[in-house]
Structures are given as structure tokens and as C-alpha cells.
Amino acid sequence: MQIDRERFSPRQWISMIQEISFFDQVRVSLFAVLLGVVGCGVKGDPLPPLTPAELGRGVPTYKGATEELAYPQVPPLKNIEPKDDLDDLEKEDAKNKELDRN
């Protein structure tokens, strides 16, 4: 059947569908439904892998990764007196009040 693309109308669609047998129509519709169901992808929530991948597989490619790091020696802090935080807060309050007055 030759289709005139310029004059293609719904009547021509109906006549083409009527020419197809009932069983062929069922087959085509069933195929379309199955294609839609299969094409939707994976159903449900994603699940984590059953066996997690091991970290650190293989040999390190960076040669410095196996060397020990030399940390600098920090001298201990001496003669540090604890600060009284309340005094600092009172000083800040006094400064803020002076600034508010100006």
C-alpha cells in the first residue's frame, strides 16, 4: 500500500489498521506493552553490592607512600597561665558601652 505523505489522514490510519488481522493487532499491541515494560529499567531501590570492594588493592604507585614521614619535634609549652574568660568578657562589654556612648 502506497502512502501519500502529503495527504495522510486519520482515515488512512483507520483503513490501514482495519486491513491488519485481529491476531496481528493483538501481537503488535502486546509487543508494544512488553517493550514499554522491559524498557523502563531496573525496578525497586538500588541495593549495595553483596561483597564490598577491598580498599588498597595492589601496590602503591607513589614511591613516597611507603616511606616513613619525619615529623618535626615541637617543644612543649611551659609557663602558661590559664586566662580568666570572664575578665575578657567584662573588658569587651566596657569597650562596647564606650562605643555606644560615642
pLDDT in tens, 34-80: 888 777 777 778 888 888 877 766 666 777 766 777 777 888 777 76
Closest-CA residue to 22 (of 30, 11, 34): 30
Closest-CA residue to 15 (of 34, 33, 6, 2): 2
Question: Can you give the pLDDT at residue 3?
Answer: 57
Q: Are 60 and 66 in contact (CB under 8 A)?
A: yes
Q: Are 12 and 3 in contact (CB under 8 A)?
A: yes
Question: Can you give the pLDDT at residue 47?
Answer: 85
Question: Can you give the pLDDT at residue 60?
Answer: 66
**Dihedral, CA atoms, 57, 60, 66, 69, nearest 10 degrees?**
-100
pLDDT in tens, 19-45: 888 888 888 889 988 888 777 777 778
Question: Can you give the pLDDT at residue 5?
Answer: 58
